[in-house]
């Protein structure tokens, strides 16, 4: 067992939402729970979830690799995912991403040397009218991310990182 007892309890609650013969329906939730606890989804976590749920490891691996919200390698404390799909791109999403790359000194898929920030390029986040859109740690959507707001976000996150 690679996760905490609380994580397995949460997975158990997810499993109760589906018929006994549809346990694979809880894979996505189980991966999200594991990633929330561990920070990323390793091969060992995939195997552990598969064994716990009672499905073949490939079934869990398929979900983990299909959705870009699951990280298959370690990421920084703060993962910033920038939407660069066409609607956001037309409303300065690409420019916001370029500004963030310059500001952090990293490219998409990279982590800052201090381990604080990982920058990712993401798919549509469903808030096209509020672009440029960024998602922080898969949970907090940041909208209308002009350079001044990006600067403010980075400074706030750095302070949080320093206090940890």
Burial per residue of 82-93, b for 16 or more beta-carbon CB atoms within 10 angstroms, e otherwise: bbbbeebbebbb
Q: Return d(Cα 46, Cα 41) in angstroms, integer.
A: 7
Lowest-confidence pick of 20-29, 39-48, 57-66, 86-95: 86-95
In the three-class reduction of DSSP (H, G, I as helix; E, B as strand; rest coil), residue 44 is classed as: helix
Q: Exposure string (b/e) for 154-164, b if CB count within 10 Å is 16 or more?
A: beebeeebeee
Q: Cβ-count burial of 76 within 10 angstroms (0-12 exposed, 13-18 middle, 19+ buried)?
A: buried
- pTM score, two decimals? 0.83
Tens digit of each residue's pLDDT (9 = 90 or more) over 11-50:
999 999 999 999 999 999 999 999 999 999 999 999 999 9
Bridge partner residues of 81 (DSSP): 120, 135
Q: In the predicted model, what is the mean pLDDT of residues 146-159?
A: 94
The alpha carbon torsion through 146, 148, 152, 158 (nearest 10 deg) reads 90
Intrachain domains 5-66 and 78-163 with the same fold = no
Q: 147, exposed or middle or buried, with CB in 10 Å at 0-12, 13-18, 19+?
A: middle
Q: In 3D, which of 52, 84, 81, 54 has the Cα closest to residue 68?
A: 81
Looking at domain 78-163, its CATH superfamily turns out to be Glutaredoxin (3.40.30.10)
The residue ranges of every structural domain in the chain are: 5-66, 78-163
Q: Indicate whether 58 pLDDT > 90.
A: yes
Bridge partners of 78? Answer: 117
pLDDT band at residue 164 using 50, 70 and 90 as cut-offs: low
For domain 5-66, the CATH superfamily is NADH-quinone oxidoreductase subunit E (1.10.10.1590)
């Amino acid at each position: 067992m690679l996760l905490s007892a609380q994580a397995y309890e949460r997975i158990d609650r997810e499993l109760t939402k589906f018929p006994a013969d549809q346990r694979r329906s809880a894979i996505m939730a189980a991966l999200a729970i594991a990633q929330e606890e561990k920070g990323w989804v390793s091969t060992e976590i995939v195997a552990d979830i598969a064994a716990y749920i009672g499905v073949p490891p490939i079934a869990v691996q398929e979900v983990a690799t299909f959705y870009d919200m699951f990280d298959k390698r370690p990421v920084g404390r703060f993962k910033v995912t920038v939407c660069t799909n066409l609607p956001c791109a037309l409303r300065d999403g690409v420019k916001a991403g370029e500004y963030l790359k310059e500001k952090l000194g990293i490219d998409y898929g990279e982590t800052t040397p201090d381990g604080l920030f990982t920058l990712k390029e993401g798919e549509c986040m469903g808030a096209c009218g509020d672009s440029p859109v960024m998602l922080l740690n898969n949970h907090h959507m940041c909208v209308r991310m002009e350079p001044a707001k990006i600067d403010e976000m980075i400074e706030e996150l750095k302070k949080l990182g320093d206090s940890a």
